[in-house]
Amino acid sequence: MVDETKTVKLPKGYKPTEIISKDFAEGSLYMKKMNLLKGQFAQSHKHKYDHYSILAAGKVTLLKGEDNVEAFKDGYPCDYEVLTAGQEILIKAGETHALIAQENSVWFCIHVTDTEVEDIDKELVADELH
């Protein structure tokens, strides 16, 4: 749990590069797997529905809430959580969130939908990616 306001800085070796991801879909279950390299920032966004995410490997800093994501981008103190491999987290609908990989990591987002994979972002993402 977040227990205090902290300052998060981009780690050395920050890589504003494209994140390698893979989509999986079966019936109404959709899952996105993201392979994050140490220092990568998964850009902020929010979803129309609650969903679970699982950190399968590595360590990430999770920023939740638009104010925290914007404060981070502007270099100000913000609330965050550090997650380690094996942890799951519920992301609430409409909650802006972003990730910073503290080490090479594998992150899964799990959604329920009947939308075709090629149209998934239109269905699940509530706003344009920042």
For the stretch 80-111, pLDDT in tens is 899 999 999 998 888 888 888 999 999 998 88
For the stretch 104-114, pLDDT in tens is 999 998 888 76
Domains of the chain and any CATH numbers:
20-124 (2.60.120.10)
Q: Residue 32: which residues within 8 A CB-CB, separation 6 or more? A: 21, 22, 23, 24, 108, 109, 111
Is the confidence at residue 31, as pLDDT, over 50?
Answer: yes
